[in-house]
Each structure stands twice: as structure tokens, then as C-alpha cells.
A and B are shown apart, each in its own frame.
Chain A
């Protein structure tokens, strides 16, 4: 029986083929020294859930110049599996308190891989991101992301004022190879 890490056991019950694909995606990645030795995977590194983020600062609100973009590799060169995402928008005017989801209708978001395919078509953060803390937007099916496949993340600020920070959070599974 092929090895499936216990962290993916829930998927293995419902869809063994997908659980196996998730396993091969992480353990078969060339960044893992045992990638070509499946018989060692069960005694190899564990699957580790991590929180990664991407920060946009000083996003302008000037009409016609209100976008900001970054190119990023969530896995830092390694294959990863994306489970969920969350976001917060911080205004330029200091507030003593703010609910994390209250400005997310006014920032549009677009995500595409560099060769041009749109992963997330442009739309308000609130409908493509989880915007309530502790309750991230969970993907219906975890997404297998390839290390080294860069993505372009674009924001459009429609709040009418400069936004000091928009921080995107991503919940990933990586192989814990210790590096």
C-alpha cells in the first residue's frame, strides 16, 4: 500500500487518488533528497503546516494609479499545497481598533501565474479571501502549487485613501526537510 502521510488521511478516506497525488507532490519534489526513493518516504520528513504572508504597503488611491503588484513564490522554490487564505487591510489613519474584515470590499485582488493564466480573476478581497480571523477562506480542494512557478499578485485600492498595508496570509503544507 502506497504511503500517505497521516496529515492527509482525511483526504485518503474520501479520495485516495487525490491523497496520493498530494503525497507525491510534496515527497516527489526534487528539493527533497529522497524524492526518487518512495520506499523511504514513510520514515522521512513530516508534513508541516505553515503560515506564509505577502505584504503590500502604501497602496495609493489616486484614480488611474491605484494598483500595486508583486511577484512571489509561496513555496520558496519548493512544492507546496495551499489549503486556505486570509487577509487584513490597515488604513493609513491610525485606528485604536478595527475588525479585520471591514475594509475588504474596497480592495480588488487578482492572481495569475507568470505565463498568463488567471488563478483569481479580479474581484473584491472579501469574496475571494477569508476576511474573518480564525476562519480563513478554505479551498474546496487543496491546491497543488509548484515551487519556482512564480505568481503575480495585484491589488487595486478603491477605498479612496492611501492604505498603509494589505497583508495576505496563506495556509500551506510543506515538507519539513529541515531547510
Chain B
């Protein structure tokens, strides 16, 4: 493992990853100004813990053919590690019986994700290509993504299902639980 100016501490949830990645993820969260003990790495091990949270963005009752845009700040100004994402499209009119497979409408809703600095992370495309739409199998990038605090995402959803539907996007995120 490469040397680090912060020492060898690796947060518990990241120990499943290769050591150099695990340490980079640890430092991404602990070496953030929102951490009160940021400047004292020897306290990191006894300091705030890494907490996994699910964050969800809802586009409710989106008319057929309509697009909707929302701005996402996933943890409100703190660095975050995004591990996976998933999504579901729920039609306004449920059939009988009201059964919805999470992926059966996922080709009919487009999703685009752009950072506010203009970088396109997910080009406009059906969510089935770029999003986790199978229960229990969220979409995972090849390595967890380190999201920078205060770099928001602008997320556009387009409903091509032919009927009104609600779209839920979800992210599994690791943040530092500093109690605030």
C-alpha cells in the first residue's frame, strides 16, 4: 500500500475494497472541512463514523411526454462516496392486479445527469441502460464514486411511457456521521 500523509486508518465499511481504494475513500470523507477532526488524523479512528444512507429523488405524477428537472445536492455540502443507484417507474393507473416489475417501464423513461460545472455524467438515455432497475441488483460503477461537496447535479427525467407516471431515483451513499 502506498504511503499517506494521513496514516494508515481505513474506515470499517471501506475495508472490503482494495487497500489503496479504501484509503482514498476514507480520506475523501475524513479530509473534508465538515469533519471537526479533519486536521488531526490520529483522531479519525475514534472520531465520527462512516454511515451508509439511501437518498431518493422523486419526480411525481409526470405527464406523458413531459420532462422535469431537479437539482440534487446529495448530502448538503459534504463530500460523499456514492456506491450504487437504483430506480423505478410507477404508473399512475395501476392495472389489476396492481403489479409493477421495477424494470418493465425503464426503457420508456430517459434520465440525464449533468454536474453544475457542465460535465455530463449520464448522457440522456433510457434509465434501463444507465440505472439500476432490478431489485436487489442496483447499478454499481466499476469503483465507488467520490462526489465533491457543493458540486450539485442537475437531473432531467423524461416520461416516454405514454401515461402519467412517478419516477423514483435512489442512491446508496456513504457519508461521515458528524452528528450534524
Contacts and interface: CB of A to CB of B under 8 A. Distances in A.
B18 A10 contact: yes
Contacts of B22: 9
Contacts of A9: 17-22, 24, 143
A12 B134 contact: no
B167 to A, nearest CB: 14
Interface in A116-147: 132-136, 142
Interface in A132-165: 132-136, 142
Interface in B99-117: 101, 103-108, 117
Given A12-B20, A132-B134, A133-B106, A173 B142 contact: yes
A4 B20 contact: yes
B66 interface: no
A134 B138 contact: yes
B178 to A, nearest CB: 23
B161 interface: yes
A39 interface: no
B123 interface: yes
B133 interface: yes
Interface residues of A, number: 43
Given A49-B145, A96-B163, A178 B131 contact: no
A18 to B, nearest CB: 14
A97 B104 contact: yes
A90 B110 CA distance: 13
Contacts of B19: 9
Interface in B10-68: 17-25
Contact of B139 (A7, A8, A87, A134): A134
Interface in A37-59: 46-53, 55
A83 interface: yes
A8 to B, nearest CB: 8
B132 A133 contact: yes
B133 A6 contact: no
B117 A135 contact: no
A33 interface: no
| Interface size, B (range) | 35 or more
B142 A7 contact: yes
B100 to A, nearest CB: 8
A83 B142 contact: yes
Contacts of A100: 103, 106-107, 126, 128, 133
Contacts of B163: 96
Given A10-B21, A50-B122, A86 B129 contact: yes
A99 B129 contact: no
A84 B146 CA distance: 20
A129 to B, nearest CB: 10
Looking at B21, B91, B129, which has the most chain A CB atoms within 10 Å of its CB? B129
A94 interface: yes
Given A52-B123, A53-B129, A88-B129, 5 more contacts: A6-B25, A7-B142, A50-B121, A134-B132, A171-B142
Interface of B: 2, 17-25, 86, 91, 101, 103-108, 117, 119-134, 137-139, 141-143, 145-146, 161-163
User: What are the 3 A-B residue pairs with the smallest beta carbon separation, nearest first?
Assistant: A169-B129, A6-B24, A9-B21
18 contacts: A6-B24, A8-B143, A9-B18, A9-B20, A9-B24, A48-B121, A49-B121, A51-B123, A51-B129, A51-B130, A98-B104, A99-B101, A100-B128, A133-B106, A134-B134, A167-B107, A169-B125, A169-B126
